[in-house]
Structure 1
Amino acid sequence: MTHRIFSMPVAEVYPHYVAKAERKGHTEAEVREVITWLSGFDDTTLDAHLRERTSFEDFFAAAVLNPQASAITGSICGVRIQEIEDPLMWRIRCLDKLVDEVAAGRPMEKIKRS
């Protein structure tokens, strides 16, 4: 099954990630920090993906996922991350979870599973 989110540009969701963090008193820089941590991209590469409107599928196909990403657990949208079987959906939900943790004010070293 192919989910609609797979073909959606990351650039369409990115402003929502930032808005969620900012509503709770956090910054776009913090959102970018967790995205680059998870994806292995630097800021310049992230900007290029946003500008080029890269789909989530292509974004994560090009990413070198942080080895600590496997430590991301919990629920997002009522679904336990560790129970998600589709690898792409798992990556997308991990990103959602990291943004939620930024918005909740969790310390960055804990978000990055240091």
Structure 2
Amino acid sequence: MSSDFATNRFYKIEDLIELVKEKKGRDAIYMIYVPVDTDDLQSGMDVYVGDVPSFDDDDNEVFPESVIALGLERGYMQEHFEDVVDVAYKQKPTASTEEVIRCLNHYAQHDSFLDLH
């Protein structure tokens, strides 16, 4: 895995978690996209780190062309993803990526942090 963070590319979810854990890409502005109809993040899945949506004159969200062409949908806002990863490793510095994925899925469903203690 490259230790460099870049937008508009795919990452294995585990690699993205590791980059976020290492505070990479914090100055970038991005959204994480997943395949359409993805209910939960899974180990080994590819996620796309892309540009954030824009808005049209009627205040409707307009996804970047690359996201539409790839058949993806919104997965996580950058700040939510980073917050969940940060909280998980603060609670349990030895957390596995599977535990962090469980935390991310919990947050997506309940809008609250999963306690790893």
Short-chain TM bin? 0.3 to 0.5
Q: Which has the larger radius of gyration?
A: 2
Q: Using CA pairs below 8 Å that are at least 6 residues apart, which structure has the higher relative contact order? A: 1
More strand by share: 2
More helix by share: 1
State the TM-score, normalizing by the size of structure 1: 0.34
State the TM-score, normalizing by the size of structure 2: 0.34
